[in-house]
Amino acid sequence: MIQISAQNQNMLAKDFFDKRTALIRKVVEGVNEIMEEYRDRWKGPIKDLGNILAKKSLRHADFVNMINDLIEMQGSREEEVRKILREFMKETEQIALKLENLLRAPDAKGFKRFIDKLREHQRKKKFEIGKMIEQQLDDTQCNMQAFLEEFKNERVALNLEWEKLKERKERLGNVNLLLGKTN
């Protein structure tokens, strides 16, 4: 069996954790890029739909207001995700520092306690994040359904109003014909 000196073990452990921290940093950057791409992807169709409504409907302003509300809500959610990622990076860096300090003065019992606490913390964090993501998805789905339902109801109301106006115009046209008036 090959014996590795305590100094070499410390260097290997630190190197491993430094690489893991760098990997986590890349993941955080990747998540930020994905959020930016997602935002850019849905901006185009929203703008196109808004332009179509502007040409065909008086409801364009309502659509813009509803979309702005959704964009604001999405922006706050993105900020929450960024905050969580910043906290995650900060915790990772703190763990790396604690690990480095433990490796300077090898204490097997202290190291084991540290690892046990770390595992418990990670388990709790994983559960909390899972619940938070589940809640965010539920909220987003409910908000989108409410948005679509409101849009549908307004569209139905607009169509009813349009039909009433057409009927009124026809009645006025018929009355004018009976009275012998022309426009």
pTM over 0.85: no
What's the pLDDT band for 52 if we cut at 50, 70, 90? confident
Across the chain, mean pLDDT equals 78
Angle (CA) 87-88-90 rounded to 5° is 65
> What's the average model confidence in pLDDT over 18-26?
81
Q: What is the pLDDT of residues 115-165, one digit of tens each?
A: 888 889 888 888 887 888 788 778 877 877 887 788 788 788 888 888 888
Alpha-carbon radius of gyration of the chain: 30
Instruction: Write out the DSSP string of 74-89.
Output: HHHHHHHHHHHHHHHH
> What's the average model confidence in pLDDT over 75-104?
81
What's the pLDDT band for 91 if we cut at 50, 70, 90? confident
> What's the average model confidence in pLDDT over 100-107?
73
> What's the average model confidence in pLDDT over 6-11?
69
Cα 55 to the center of its chain, rounded Å: 31
The most confident of the ranges 2-6, 38-42, 49-53 is 38-42
Residue 176 pLDDT: 67
> What's the average model confidence in pLDDT over 23-33?
82
The answer to whether the beta carbons of residues 114 and 98 sit under 8 Å apart is yes
Task: Tell me how far apart the alpha carbons of residues 86 and 29 are, in angstroms, rounded to a whole number.
Answer: 11
Residue 6 has pLDDT above 70, yes or no: no
CA atoms within 13 A on the CB side of 178: 6
> What's the average model confidence in pLDDT over 44-70?
72
Residue 54 pLDDT: 66
In the chain the first and final C-alpha atoms are separated, in Å, by 106
The answer to whether the beta carbons of residues 39 and 78 sit under 8 Å apart is yes
The answer to whether the beta carbons of residues 122 and 24 sit under 8 Å apart is no
> What's the average model confidence in pLDDT over 49-56?
69
SS3 content of the chain, % helix, strand, coil (to 5): 90, 0, 10
Angle (CA) 75-78-66 rounded to 5° is 30
Residue 146 pLDDT: 81
- Inter-CA distances, 1 with 8, 63, 106, 108, Å: 16, 72, 21, 20
Residue 1 has pLDDT above 60, yes or no: no
